[in-house]
Chains A and B, each alone.
Chain A
Amino acid sequence: MSLFRTILFVAALAGIGTGLVGAGLHLLTTVPLILKAETFEQAEAAAPAHDHANATAQAAGAQESAAHEHDSEAWAPADGFERNGLTLLFTVLTGFGFALLLVSASEIAGGLQNWHQGVIWGLAGFAVFTLAPGLGLPPELPAMPAGDLAARQLWWVGTAAATAGGLALLAFGRSPLLAVAGVALIVAPQLIGAPQPDSYETAIPEALHHRFVVASVAVSFVFWALLGGLAGWLRPRLAAPAA
């Protein structure tokens, strides 16, 4: 089997398996917290003058008000089956996308030999795509204040890329000088700092946000360990016919 097809098949199978498990975990943990946060968001939208006494009374009419930056003209899924079905679909696609990056990167180093090696690569993915961007931009709930979207996306991508490059220098660099450069590359985006909002004021209780951060990071950890482990287990099996 050609290398391209091997990467594609390994990533697709690992992505589907991990996406299904990850979506199940998200629907049980993070999604209920997102829905709860939206009740605060709607109450806040209904009472822009922070008149909390009227907030609940007006919450019923909040559907009409423009909740944060959602375009009310645009299509949106209906709550329940449609919305959760899309979460399942897009978590599987997220798994496929991250698996393509993980398997591609590991092929540069010769390819995953077993599930154990895959888990190590998965932990690197967790560090690159969850821990490093999450230090500056922790998981956030709807209605929480945030800096400019494009600036945050740029910082997120730059931080993930720098962390991946830094880890590669640490793991595969042949001199201590390269290891020092790797550490510098990992620390640099954190020194630059993520774009922050003008004000941190929010209607979301801190306890709710804390539970969400813990749930999001914990599910992400399981996601990456499983994604790497599955990819490492599949790769020798699918690449074998070419040998």
Chain B
Amino acid sequence: MTTRNGLNLAASHDSLAARAVAITFAALIGVVVLGGVGFSHVSAMHNATHDVRHANAFPCH
């Protein structure tokens, strides 16, 4: 089970579907974390992340 559809599965014994689910969930956590830090409209959240948003060029106020 080293290749299927050209994808390298050598590092894992998971099925293709299990890999897809794991990758999707991990990416979703990333989106939620970045959404909170960079995009939340809650005022307290904006104030806490203010300098990080400006410094990293997230759109800010």
Binding site for B on A (CB under 8 A): 2-4, 7-8, 11, 26, 30-31, 34, 68-71, 73-77, 83-84, 86-87, 90-91, 93-94, 96-101, 103-105, 107-111, 130, 133-134, 137-142, 146, 149, 152-153, 156-157, 216, 219-220, 239, 242-243
- Whether A94 pairs with B23 at a CB distance below 8 angstroms is no
Across the interface, B44 reaches (CB within 8 A) one of A30, A75, A134, A219, namely A75
The number of residues on chain B lying at the interface, defined by a beta carbon within 8 Å of a beta carbon of chain A, is 44
On chain B, the residues within 8 Å of A11 by CB distance are 26, 30
Contact with A along B16-50 (1 / 0, CB 8 A): 00110111111101110110111101011011111
Residue of A nearest to B20 (CB): A108
Taking a contact as CB atoms under 8 Å apart, the answer to whether B57 and A68 are in contact is: no
State in angstroms the CA–CA spacing of A34 and B33 once bound together.
24
Contact of B19 among A83, A86, A107, A133 (CB under 8 A): A107
Shortest C-beta distance, A101 to chain B (Å), equals 4
Question: Smallest CB-CB separation from A139: which chain B residue?
Answer: B57
Apart from A97-B34, A243-B11, 10 more pairs, CB < 8 Å: A11-B30, A71-B43, A74-B47, A75-B48, A86-B52, A90-B48, A110-B9, A149-B60, A157-B39, A220-B56
Contact B34 A94 (CB under 8 A): yes
Whole-angstrom distance from the CB of B27 to the nearest CB of chain A? 4
Partner of A91, one of B25, B36, B50, B52: B52
Contacting pair A137 B59 (CB below 8 A):
yes
Partner pick for B33 among A30, A83, A96, A139, CB 8 A cutoff:
A96
Given the interface pairs A87-B52, A90-B52, the reply to whether A3 lies near B23 with Cβ below 8 Å is yes
Main secondary structure on A side of the interface with B: helix
Closest chain A CB from B58 CB (angstroms): 7
CB-defined contacts of B56 to chain A, threshold 8 Å: 91, 94, 139, 216, 220
Which residues from A are CB-within-8-Å of B12? 2-3, 239, 242
Dominant secondary structure of chain B at its interface with chain A? helix
Residue B1 is within 8 A (CB to CB) of chain A in the complex: no
Known contacts A2-B22, A70-B47, A239-B12; is-contact A142 B27 (Cβ 8 Å) = no
Complex: chain A residue closest to B39, CB-CB: A153
Contact yes or no, B51 A83, CB < 8 A: yes
Residues on B with C-beta less than 8 A from A130 are: 57
Q: How far is the CA of A97 from the CA of B39 in the complex (A)?
A: 13
Contacts of A219 in B (CB 8 A): 55
B48–A34 CB distance below 8 A? no
Q: Which A residues are CB-close (under 8 A) to B47?
A: 70, 74-77
Give Cα distance in the complex from A7 to B26, angstroms.
7
Query: What are some 11 contacts across the A-B interface (CB < 8 A)?
Result: A11-B30, A30-B54, A70-B47, A75-B43, A75-B44, A86-B52, A87-B55, A90-B37, A107-B19, A110-B7, A139-B55
